[in-house]
């Protein structure tokens, strides 16, 4: 098992869900930043460094949750 997967497995899923619901969706109005930045990425207008930083900041909890929920594959051998 990789070191990253071991570290992710040490984080309780509830903490990652709370991070997604708070930081991952903040600010809540008029629309979550992550949704706005994903639309900008799809539209090709995600060019400013602050927008890229926002995408990384608000997307990291979602990425960590997805990686945490992927089951580990057994090693071949």
Q: What are 11-49's pLDDT values in tens digits?
A: 999 999 999 999 888 888 888 888 999 999 999 999 999
Q: Is residue 57 part of a domain?
A: yes
**pTM confidence score:** 0.81
Cα–chain center distance at 77: 33
Whether residue 1 is predicted with pLDDT greater than 60 in this model: the reply is: no
Question: Which is it for the CA torsion 32, 38, 44, 49, positive or negative?
Answer: positive
Residue 2 belongs to a domain: no
In the numeric block, which tokens belong to residue 16? Answer: 């990652």
* Residue at 15 is within a domain: yes
Q: How far is 41 from 52, CA to CA, in rounded Å? A: 9
Domain tally, the chain: 1
What domain range includes position 52? 10-69
Q: Is 30 a domain residue?
A: yes
Domain contains 22: yes
Domain-located, residue 77? no
């Amino acid at each position: 098992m990789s070191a990253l997967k071991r570290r992710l497995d040490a984080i309780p899923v509830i903490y990652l869900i709370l991070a997604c619901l708070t930081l991952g969706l903040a600010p809540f109005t008029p629309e979550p930043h992550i949704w706005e930045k994903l639309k900008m990425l799809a539209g090709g207008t995600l060019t400013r460094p602050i927008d890229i930083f926002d995408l990384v900041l608000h997307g990291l909890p979602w990425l960590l949750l997805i990686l945490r929920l992927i089951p580990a594959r057994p090693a071949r051998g």
